[in-house]
Amino acid sequence: MTNYRICVCFHRRFKVGEAVPPAEIRDLFNKYSEGGSHMNGNQLGKFMCEVQGENVDGEQVVEQVIQKRHHISRFARHNLSLDDFHQYLFSSHLNPPITSQVNQDMTAPLSRYFIYTGHNSYLTGNQLSSDCSDIPIIKALNRGVRVVELDIWPNSNKDDVHVLHGRTLTTPVELIKCLKSIKEHAFTASPYPVIITLEDHLTPDLQAKVAEMLTQTFGDMLFCPNAENLREFPSPEELKYRILISTKPPKEYLEAKSISVNSKKMMKSKDFDEDDSGKEANDVAKTHNGDDTGDSDPNQQSDDESYYYCSPELCPSAASSYKCLIAIHAGKPKGSLKEALKVENDKVRRLSLSEQSLEKAAESLGTNLIRFTQKNFLRVYPKGTRFNSSNYKPLNGWMHGAQMVAFNMQGYGKYLWLMHGMFRSNGGCGYVKKPDFLMNVGPNNDVFNPKDRLSVKKTLKVKVYLGDGWRMDFKQTHFDMYSPPDFYVRIGIAGVPADEIMKKTKILEDNWIPYWEEEFTFPLTVPELALLRVEVNEYDMSETDDFAGQTCLPVSELKQGIRAVPLYSRKGEKYNSVRLLMRFEFI
């Protein structure tokens, strides 16, 4: 029983029990136990095959459940009670909604994957006045982020290199500290390659110093191609435990110094026009003179050429010692965006666009973007007015094949939840293989057009049975001072515009263990990019509803059947106990 005080003399009492099996779970237990009081391994195996779509050893699962629940020897019991069966289904450890293992082909070229990408990875908070530190870099790497961005500037004495958000009040951190932390934590969450994107504002002598720092810190972990430009990139599998550097070659930084003279002219350009009201000077420079197309000098490379570790001692000058460490070349565009999106057979390059530039390009150059990203890298970054480190909708970038949709990982909110959800795919390794439709070329050299109206490919049916765990993870009065919470679930799809929708369950009053038992259907035209959004709130009649947990799951990886779905905080941290019992079917 739980007491809630109404006033000095009066209390309201509410009974809080344990979660009991819903009627449908009881019916399934009766069916597969053949009317008995217990379910043996063979019967559980049949249930797993027919309902859960998994071929597993039922005896082994029974043993796991018995040991977890009762801490007794496997020789003591060989079957499950109804309560054991329910608790097994409601265990997010034993019965998760998606796999925790890498399950995709990792042998395709690197450009054929979406990559978990950070923006201004060193910032602890907002874009204007927060501290710069290696701590958010470590947190991002431990979450599985594979692309780390560092803005590098001369220190006040011009004799060392700092990481900071230039022309703002952010306090700097030494580059070498960031590099050492990257080396230590790069492969904690995933063995697949880490890419460091450098926004370089250095003189040639300091670039040479950075080259020395990189080689001394990472040694033979650094991947350096033996040609200035690659025709195709190796695969994530080939690049396991390697560090890649991506930035503009040194000569292009010297050219970029003309920004103060050319920025007004560039801002009038048809393809790169941006709304720069309120932007930092640094962001204006990046938007109008920093969009990348790579070098103009082609270098051929035969298919059988190998890669080597390059050190400054092997390079004839300070500029080339820095340049030979660059694995993924970036550079400013020359001419229109349409020209910048032309695919060159003899090299792979990186192009960067702000979120607004991508939106404008998508209007008239959607198929150009698709062709470009089939071979080359496209990086999308937040507009400069996102001073509070908020984020933008990532689906537009993914729809157009952008590998590096760069996000402020130190923030939080709905769009960051989508990013977390996408990269729960493929065992959370930080690389998600692009759907085939983004890579295919038709008989008439045609490619996927994001503007095409598509028919429904499959329908996802979702049933929300119940939720539990709030009573363990939250204080009694967290949601309401005078009564238990009134929970409801918002559930829907984030994906291409035709698939996006949100629905919600009824509100269940005064209940720590709400039983909704409601079903929803979601027709999907592009299930490959669909994310299932789940958000639980507590209804408040007089104020804003209280947040009670969320998750986002890739539809393409959902396991069919009845699953335990763990929920996360606003910041994306997993709750210890809060979870939902749900059923997924594809029809």
Q: For residue 322, what is the enclosing H or E element?
A: helix 318-323
Q: Residues 578, 469: contact at Cβ < 8 Å? A: yes
d(CA 560, CA 411): 32
pLDDT tens digits, one per residue of 454-472: 999 999 999 999 999 999 9
Q: Are residues 413 and 328 in the same domain?
A: yes
Q: What is the pLDDT of residue 263?
A: 38
Of 405, 438, 471, the residue at which a domain comes to its end is 438
Res. 267: pLDDT tops 70: no
Does some domain include residue 515?
yes
Mean pLDDT of 30-36: 97
Mean pLDDT of the chain: 87
Residue 45 lies inside a defined structural domain of this protein: yes
Range of the domain at 468: 455-586
Helix (H) or strand (E) holding 369: helix 355-373
Give the pLDDT confidence of 193-243 residue by residue, as tens digits.
999 999 999 999 999 999 999 999 999 999 998 766 678 899 999 999 999
Q: Is there a domain that residue 260 lies in?
A: no
If asked whether residues 334 and 474 sit together in one domain, one would say: no
CATH number at residue 241: 3.20.20.190
Within this chain, do residues 359 and 219 fall inside the same structural domain, yes or no?
yes
Each residue of 50-109: pLDDT tens digit?
999 999 999 999 999 988 877 655 456 689 999 999 999 999 999 999 999 999 999 999
pLDDT at 431 over 90: yes
Treating both helix axes as pointing N-terminal to C-terminal, what angle do 82-89 and 23-32 enclose, rounded to 10 degrees? Answer: 120
Amino acid 75: pLDDT? 52
The Cα–Cα gap between 100 and 103 comes to 9
The pLDDT value given to residue 160: 97
Question: What is d(CA 280, CA 283) in angstroms, rounded to the nearest whole number?
Answer: 5
CATH of the domain at 508: 2.60.40.150
Residue that terminates a domain, selected from 438, 468, 495: 438
* 85 in the same domain as 120: no
Contact 372/294 with Cβ under 8 angstroms? no
Half-sphere exposure for 460 (CA within 13 Å, toward CB): 29
- What per-residue confidence (pLDDT) applies to 168? 94
If asked whether residues 461 and 411 sit together in one domain, one would say no
Note whether 574 and 498 are same-domain residues: yes
The pLDDT of residue 407 is 98
Whether residue 220 is found in the same domain as residue 369: yes
DSSP-derived secondary structure for 518-535: EEEEEEES-GGG-EEEEE
Which residues have C-beta within 8 Å of that of residue 571, sequence separation ≥ 6? 412
Q: Are residues 575 and 509 in the same domain?
A: yes
**pLDDT score of 290 more than 70:** no
Residue 283 has pLDDT above 50, yes or no: no
Q: Give the residue from 176, 165, 94 showing the smallest Cα distance to 134.
A: 176
354 part of a folded domain: yes
DSSP code per residue over 23-48: HHHHHHHHHHTTT-SSEEHHHHHHHH
352-399 pLDDT, tens digit each: 999 999 999 999 999 999 999 999 999 999 999 999 999 999 999 999
In this structure, are 145 and 86 located in the same domain? Answer: no
Separation CA 378–CA 116 (nearest Å): 13
Residues 40 and 188 in one domain: no
**Is 167 found in the same domain as 86?**
no
For tokens 């020897």, name the residue: 73
> Looking at the 3D structure of the chain, how many domains does it have?
3
Same domain, 463 and 424: no
Q: Which residues are catalytically annotated?
A: 119, 165
- Which pLDDT band, with edges at 50, 70 and 90, does 452 fall under? very high
Q: Is the pLDDT of residue 300 over 80?
A: no
Residues belonging to the chain? 587
What distance in Å separates the CA atoms of residue 422 and residue 172, rounded to the nearest whole number?
A: 32
CATH of the domain at 59: 1.10.238.10
Average pLDDT over residues 174-201: 98
In a domain, 206, yes or no: yes
Query: Is 239 a domain residue?
Result: yes
pLDDT of residue 118 exceeding 60: yes
Asked if 493 and 522 count as a contact pair (C-beta separation under 8 A), the reply is: yes
Which one, of 182, 105, 139, 115, lies nearest residue 430 by Cα?
115
Range list of β-strands (E), 305-403: 326-329, 350-354, 377-381
Tokens coding 218: 């990472």
Model confidence at 5: pLDDT above 80:
no
Question: Which of 91-95, 327-331, 421-425 has the least mean pLDDT?
Answer: 327-331
Q: What is the C-alpha separation between 530 and 89, in angstroms, rounded?
A: 25
29 belongs to a structural domain: yes
Helix orientation angle between 58-70 and 41-50, rounded to the nearest 10 degrees: 110
Q: What is the pLDDT of residue 73?
A: 53
pLDDT at 110: 97
Assigned domain for 294 exists: no
